[in-house]
Structure 1
Amino acid sequence: MITDNPTLMSDIRARFAHVESCPVAGPRVFFENAGGALTLNSVVDTSNQFAAIPDNQGRDNEMAHELVRVIDQAKEDMRVFFNAPEGDIFAGESGTELLFRLIMNAILETEEGGVVLGSTLEHPATRSACTRWAKVAGKPYIQVAHDDATGCVTAGDYIPYLRPDIRVATILHTSPVTGMGVDVAAVSRAIRDVAPDAIIIVDGIQHASHGLIDIKGYDIDGYVISPYKVFSRHGYGIAWTSPRLNALPHDSLIGGPEGNWELGTRDTGAYATMSDVVEYFDWLGAQVSDAQDRRARIEAAGAAIHGHEQALTHAMIHGTGNLAGLADLPGVGIIGGADNPAREGLVTITLEGMEAPDLVTALRTRGIRTHTRKADHYSGNILDPLGLPSAVRVSMCHYNTITEVSAFLEAMREIVDGLASPDP
């Protein structure tokens, strides 16, 4: 519905900062959304507003009371966004820091013995935390092998690794390298069938901007996002924790509120910008549906985002107008395959005869911003089994257009033709 509605697309793009141009480089197509999505103009305004306020929460003055109200409202807004009627929602240093903290406490404070379970698809935020704290706790860390061909992991892949003594399990909702989404509900259900008491923690950082989050439907204990990847700003992360995870001992101030996860004075502006994000999803849902309920509008927005991004990736891979898609350009490889229903707004490619960093540069000089993924601590788990030292990540979001995809394909055709007929 977004794809076929130019007026709505114009309205969407008008709500974001720097949609068409970089403040330093000038006009460009922004296909580096997996590295950090564009920021809502409302988030910029809210950040400026709260950055100027000298007061803190917990004082006897009107502004202090207002700051508490803003934080409470943001938490209620995020409950609707996450579909999380129970548990706690709180801010931390970053998504990675929050994943480390949740995983550490889950591993250390669950029953002795048993194992920790994850997958080879996961970001190092979860794999590193599990590796460190499983060793400290003396609980072996087991990783489910993902499918190199599809760039994904399924509930079926988990089944051979399941055992009753799983104490903690982690799930990646969407891969920032392959772009493939994981059926969290199905994986969680498979784990619960064998280890019903396991603490299950989900890395939702890459998924959050690409569609729906439904914590109530997942039967999990922790979910973490990085707001800068879902239209807010850098400098904080957001976590949801279940009553079961909250009940485990964790770092807190002696004599402080029972079960509190927050350490130190909170950034009211960070919370307030998440209200801006939720308001945006609510607004978008009202444009694409007649839903009267706020959660229903957010669900409609998620469906519209998913549908539009599928249209973008399909055009990028299979072509649009008279432009050949990546699948038909000689020498182009597509991680996860050309036709993969798990793909969420991201295509990672290689090009025979050109190193990935050189391809990123060639695209940049043609006004297309992408990013190199190297076989390092961030992406080696995906690229090493494929024998790739690096690849190029082309990541889109729902404010990107078919016209921008066309510009990318024109640039790729020019680059590919240049390899076939190099200048004398």
Structure 2
Amino acid sequence: MIQDNPALIAAIRDRFAHVDSCPFQGPRIFFENAGGALTLKSVVETSTFYAALPDNPGRFNPAGQGTQKVIDKAKVDLAVFMNTSSGQFFAGESGTELLFRLIRTACTSAPKGTKVIGSSIEHPATRSAARRWTDIAGLSYVNVPHNDETGLVTAEDYAALVTPDVSVATILHASPVSGMAMDVAAISRAIRAVAPDCVIIVDGIQHAAHGQLDLDSYAIDGYAISPYKVFSRHGYGIAWISDKLSAAPHDMLINAPATGWEFGTRDAGAYAAVSDVVAYFEWLGSEVSPATERRERIEAAGGAIHQYERFLIDAMINGTGNLPGLKDLAHVRIIAGADNPAREGLVSIAIDGVASPDVVEALNSQGIRTHTRKADHYSGNVLDPLGLGDCVRVSLCHYNTLQEVAEFLVAIKDIKARRAA
């Protein structure tokens, strides 16, 4: 697989911009992927081309028709990438904005007096929207507590609290704080076993870069991603909604098509960049498997990404060569435990006696980019129960290397002594 193929690792890294250096900082290791992944060079080129076009997609001229075909192709590509045979895709301001729209529509369409269920592990993109529109729509909210020690919420946790009068449910696919991936399909089954008509909406923003998306298997009604976290660029989000949610009463122009969800002129470049991302997954799948079908290649790529990132995470936690891992360092606390198979491309840590912003600053001075998560409106739901005011998030992706992990371990091993000095 990837870890056994240095030439493939080099080829992967060559497809990304700024893979080992920052135009503001110079050489650096990028372990801030959960804050926004590296961008494919093809996306940069595509975005530049389409940004220069003055034409509106869909107009009856060559450019208008050409850019509309680009948008149509991207939606087909998304259906293959995320494996869905129904529903529709559309773009919005961001993944968060789209989740608010989906949840608002689900809540305002739900019968009065019914319930909305969600979990305490969720990012505020879903929790804030659910709590706000629960109150406005005259519904009641049911909170499913997550396990503080594992950073997870399970199907069994949902099953313990779901009731037949639950009309809307939200699920987080992966946490940007604990780094844990939830079993969306199992949670969805647990909900539908009791409330079969429930509208289920999933926040896939953190999970998408790590591959292995399969909407048809989830039995849900909405899924949102932020493309800048999946090797594309900032400035837009992508949502998928089921036929059921498409037809629900929603914000729309008077006399517009009943299932239309997009507003205004579409950015053809944003959609074209999505096609670049899908093409990258297909290329990677062709490198790690003999598959010839598009979906099979994408699945192969997702599997290889998951396996390689697991390899890097294991090295970070357990050590590599003669370097001790994070679990061997007495001054390091690993959020959600050292041995957690649900972890996905991310390790959050706290350093005894050193504030996380100081750790991030010290690492940055050595050319290692990480990020502080504080117990604020973004991360307090995870950090407060652990008695932590902050943590250091170290997030990687499949273009990172074992050598980069080793350099991080060298730096973190001596971080406390350096700060004391």
* TM-score of the aligned structures, taking structure 2 as reference length: 0.99
Q: Using the alignment, how far apart are the partners of 1:26 and 1:141 within structure 2? A: 48
The one-letter code matched in structure 2 to 1:273 is A
Partner of 2:264: 264
- Name the SS of the counterpart of 1:408 in structure 2: helix
Q: Does 1:350 align with 2:350?
A: yes
Q: Using the alignment, how far apart are the partners of 1:416 and 1:211 within structure 2? A: 36
The one-letter code matched in structure 2 to 1:239 is A
Partner of 1:332: 332
Q: Which structure 1 residue ranges, 5 or more long, are not aligned? A: none
Q: Using the alignment, how far apart are the partners of 1:287 and 1:321 within structure 2? A: 28
Partner of 1:410: 410
- Name the SS of the counterpart of 2:118 in structure 1: strand
How much has 1:272 moved relative to structure 2?
A: 0.5
Q: Using the alignment, how far apart are the partners of 1:367 and 1:62 within structure 2? A: 48
Q: Using the alignment, how far apart are the partners of 2:206 and 2:412 within structure 1? A: 25
Number of residue-to-residue matches in the alignment: 421
Q: Does 1:195 align with 2:195?
A: yes
Percent identical pairs in the alignment equals 63
1:13-52 aligned at under 5 Å gives the runs: 13-52=13-52
1:259-408 aligned at under 5 Å gives the runs: 259-408=259-408
- Alpha-carbon contact 1:329-1:416 (below 8 Å) kept: no
Q: Does 1:181 align with 2:181?
A: yes
How much has 1:353 moved relative to structure 2?
A: 1.0
Q: Using the alignment, how far apart are the partners of 2:407 and 2:58 within structure 1? A: 52
- Name the SS of the counterpart of 1:3 in structure 2: helix
Q: Using the alignment, how far apart are the partners of 1:94 and 1:221 within structure 2? A: 18
Partner of 1:241: 241
Deviations 1:195-249 (A, max 9, x none): 0000000000000001211000000000000000000000000000001101101
How much has 1:255 moved relative to structure 2?
A: 2.0
What's the RMSD between the two structures over aligned residues?
Answer: 0.8
How much has 1:257 moved relative to structure 2?
A: 2.3
- Name the SS of the counterpart of 1:340 in structure 2: coil
- Alpha-carbon contact 1:22-1:28 (below 8 Å) kept: yes
Deviations 1:255-293 (A, max 9, x none): 222310001111010000000000000000000000111
Partner of 1:222: 222
How much has 1:337 moved relative to structure 2?
A: 0.2
Q: Which structure 2 residue ranges, 5 or more long, are not aligned? A: none
Q: Does 1:158 align with 2:158?
A: yes
- Name the SS of the counterpart of 1:187 in structure 2: helix
How much has 1:331 moved relative to structure 2?
A: 1.1
How much has 1:111 moved relative to structure 2?
A: 2.0
Q: Using the alignment, how far apart are the partners of 1:135 and 1:199 within structure 2? A: 17
Partner of 1:57: 57
- Alpha-carbon contact 2:363-2:369 (below 8 Å) kept: yes
- Name the SS of the counterpart of 2:54 in structure 1: coil
- Alpha-carbon contact 1:330-1:416 (below 8 Å) kept: no
Which stretch shows the higher mean deviation, 107-116 or 47-56? 107-116
Q: Using the alignment, how far apart are the partners of 2:365 and 2:319 within structure 1? A: 22
1:130-145 aligned at under 5 Å gives the runs: 130-145=130-145
Q: Using the alignment, how far apart are the partners of 2:59 and 2:242 within structure 1? A: 29
- Name the SS of the counterpart of 2:391 in structure 1: strand
* TM-score of the aligned structures, taking structure 1 as reference length: 0.98
Partner of 1:101: 101
- Alpha-carbon contact 1:349-1:392 (below 8 Å) kept: yes
Q: Using the alignment, how far apart are the partners of 1:196 and 1:145 within structure 2? A: 22
Q: Using the alignment, how far apart are the partners of 2:158 and 2:332 within structure 1? A: 31
The one-letter code matched in structure 2 to 1:252 is M
Deviations 1:322-375 (A, max 9, x none): 100000012100000000000000000001010000000111111110000000
The one-letter code matched in structure 1 to 2:215 is I
Q: Using the alignment, how far apart are the partners of 2:255 and 2:137 within structure 1? A: 27
